[in-house]
Chain A
Amino acid sequence: MSTGFVIMLTGVLVASACALLGCFLVLRRMAMMSDAISHSILPGLVGGYFIAQGPNLLVGFLGAAVAGLITITLVEVLKNTGRVGGESAIGIVFPAMFALGTFLVSKYFANVHLDTDAILYGSIEFASFDRLFIGDYDLGPQALWIMGSLCGINLLFVGLFYKELKLATFDAGLAATLGFSPILLHYALMAVVSITTVGAFTAVGAILVVALMIVPAATAYLLTNRLPVMIALAVGFGALAAISGYWLAILLDGSVAGAIATMTGVWFGLVLLFSPTQGLVAKFRRTGQQRTQFAADTLLVHLMQHENTAIAATESQVAHLSSELRWTPPFAETVIGLALRDHLVERQADRLALTSHGRGRAEAALEHHG
């Protein structure tokens, strides 16, 4: 396998593992927990390093996972005191953990290379050089094995507890009455998020974990109302970001993790603009259409009110309309164009006259808005 292929494959695996869980985080409004966990595993890594007396993958992994669980519990405890809001609890716990980690590093391991930069933005670039050995047998890149197993674990978790997760996410009350424990499920989900974060962050760093957990899931959320579709789309967008991010990094000769995070944002931005239902463009167009439609109704009602009155002649002049209804001339033109197109009014010299169809619409509009 070429270096580039290993990097992309690792990226796709990280993206899939993260997106599977990210959908539930986004829907449960716990997106920032992934940020908190990704920062607060630092003291756990340091602790693992201390216990194993050196860099040891398994011990470091366990230490980090424990730190993740401590963070989750602390946030939960702080929230339950009723003194601190959920988001403030997160804002207190994870910087404290990160500061503790940095403190420990500089106090006891000042001479050891435990790079805080690498923790923030990882080293996916070297994915193919760090290999897993059993005895002397080379099993291939270690990151692929770690992320592949995490993908499997997450797939299993979501597959096995799909119904429970879905229920607890959309109707925690009902889940509780049916006998599931939403709290237990919360901790289970957080534990899997925590393990995934730890595993992914050795490969890609803290920030990319957050990006891949939240952004593809949020992107998918803008496109569908169905959970299975959302999960599939999130995995797809994550993979897309991983591959396009790799090429962006090659192009700019920059950090692959940074580029992948950037690409998640680019895809999100595109969907945010152009999603058929939730997109900003669709939304603005809808608003514009409604505005013109409403203005056309106003025009019809205005014409009807003055029909057969003494001032009808002046009130129905095209030139008079824009000043009477306070429309800019171009907007008035659009509205009149719409009314003419739908045969609601007729042009009579410089005046407008209601058609019978238009009169019916005006009456209906009066009744409807009236």
Chain B
Amino acid sequence: MDTFWELFTDYTLRNVALGSALLGIVSGVLGCFAVLRRQGLLGDALSHAALPGIAVAYLLTGSKAPLVLLFGAGVAGWIGTLLIGRIVRDTRISEDSALGIVLSTFFGFGILLLTYISKQNDANQAGLDKYLFGQAATLVASNVITMAILGGVALLVVGILYKEFKLLTFDPAFAASLGFNPHRLGILLTTLIVVAVVIGLQTVGVVLMAAMLVGPAVAARQWTHSLRLMIGLAAFFGAAAGVSGAIISVSDANLPTGPMIILSLTTIVIASLLFAPARGIVWDWGRRRRQRTLALNSAGPGSGLMLPATDPRPSVKKGDEQ
């Protein structure tokens, strides 16, 4: 409870919690579209692809200002996006391979550049690699303001183009027939995801960014069939995971913030998958069992309809196997 009050009084905790909550909201909203379009791993690829951008931005400007580095990260992530799109459209290589190619080669190049920079007898580079794992604890007020502006713009674009994005997500062919360009809309949506990734790099880092986009959306999908509600819930889950992760990590000095956010988020995802009304997996088990008892009872000895010892009906068997 003490830690909870510190949210409002403690400067560091307030920044960390605010930054994490912002990340949760932005990635939750954008993640909904990514997950529904079956591009859940795009965020993972883009966050890795952003790394060389940080190194190049530093090499070109010599500046370590977060804004400069994150701009570089955004550009590199965006180039990665275009490359993935080109590979998927113009060759027979499937999307998952294209993601893996861009992810691993860009990231490898980023590592090469970072090690190259660190060998240049230049003590100034120290700290570039904090973007690998994220260091939410080092967030200061100006970082949070930058994040808020970037995230605000991204959310504003989603708000304005909500109908278009919805159409693109559920029926791209229909969107095309109405005169929208699904290809351009897709690129715009991915660009917004790059913005979310850029916000996330400072907080949770490259590796854990994938979960920030996928987790809230998957959890929210369990509770509703409406896209509007799903987006709202995802933003809420993302923010809740961000704040609770920040509180947990501050309550124990040894715990890193990023992983704690992801573990909170994973808890929300598991709870939603299991217990959400209607779509919860636990209810399935009960339902299956009732159905089977019902079937066995109605096919009891008197009915002359005995089910064979191994029930061949796939719906019942499937439940047993899983």
Contacting pair B104 A30 (CB below 8 A): no
A to B contact number (C-beta, < 8 Å): 211
19 A-B contact pairs sorted by A residue (CB < 8 Å)? A31-B100, A35-B44, A35-B103, A77-B322, A87-B41, A91-B40, A91-B44, A98-B262, A99-B208, A100-B263, A103-B260, A107-B252, A210-B100, A218-B93, A254-B112, A258-B111, A262-B108, A262-B109, A278-B92
Contacting pair B110 A95 (CB below 8 A): no
Q: How far does the alpha carbon of A280 sit from the alpha carbon of B213 in the complex, in Å?
A: 32
Across the interface, name the chain A residue whose C-beta is closest to B284. A81
Whether B140 is near chain A, meaning CB under 8 Å from some CB there, is no
Stretch at the interface among B4-12, B16-24, B215-223: B215-223
Across the interface, name the chain B residue whose C-beta is closest to A108. B254
Contacting pair B105 A261 (CB below 8 A): yes
How close is B196's CB to chain A, nearest CB, in angstroms?
A: 14
Contacting pair B112 A207 (CB below 8 A): no
Q: How far does the alpha carbon of A107 sit from the alpha carbon of B130 in the complex, in Å?
A: 19
The listed residue with most A CB atoms (<10 A of its CB), out of B40, B99, B281, is B40
Interface string of B272-291 (1 = CB under 8 A from A): 01000001010000000000
Taking A99-B211, A103-B260, A280-B90 as known contacts, 4 extra A-B pairs with beta carbons closer than 8 A to each other, sorted by chain A number, are A39-B207, A94-B210, A214-B101, A280-B86
Interface residues of A (CB under 8 A from B): 26, 29-32, 34-35, 39, 77-78, 80-81, 83-85, 87-88, 90-92, 94-96, 98-100, 102-103, 106-107, 110, 116-117, 120-121, 207-208, 210-211, 213-215, 217-218, 221-222, 248-249, 252-255, 257-262, 264-265, 268, 272, 278, 280, 283
Interface residues on B, range: 35 or more
Across the interface, name the chain B residue whose C-beta is closest to A213. B100
Q: How far does the alpha carbon of A211 sit from the alpha carbon of B105 in the complex, in Å?
A: 6
| Chain B residues within an 8 Å CB radius of A30 | 96
Whether B258 is near chain A, meaning CB under 8 Å from some CB there, is yes
Contacting pair A208 B132 (CB below 8 A): no
Which single member of A81, A208, A254, A261 contacts B322 (CB below 8 Å)?
A: A81
Which single member of B44, B92, B97, B110 contacts A31 (CB below 8 Å)?
A: B97
Q: How far does the alpha carbon of A252 sit from the alpha carbon of B273 in the complex, in Å?
A: 48
Contacting pair A96 B266 (CB below 8 A): yes
Contacting pair B259 A99 (CB below 8 A): yes
Which B94-122 residues have a C-beta within 8 angstroms of A?
94, 96-101, 103-116, 119
Q: How far does the alpha carbon of A77 sit from the alpha carbon of B269 in the complex, in Å?
A: 14
Contacting pair A207 B210 (CB below 8 A): no
| Chain A residues within an 8 Å CB radius of B48 | 207
| Chain B residues within an 8 Å CB radius of A207 | 48, 104, 107-108, 111
Whether B72 is near chain A, meaning CB under 8 Å from some CB there, is no
| Chain A residues within an 8 Å CB radius of B90 | 280, 283
Q: In the complex where A29-B96, A84-B218, A87-B96 touch, is A96 in contact with B254 (Cβ < 8 A)?
A: no
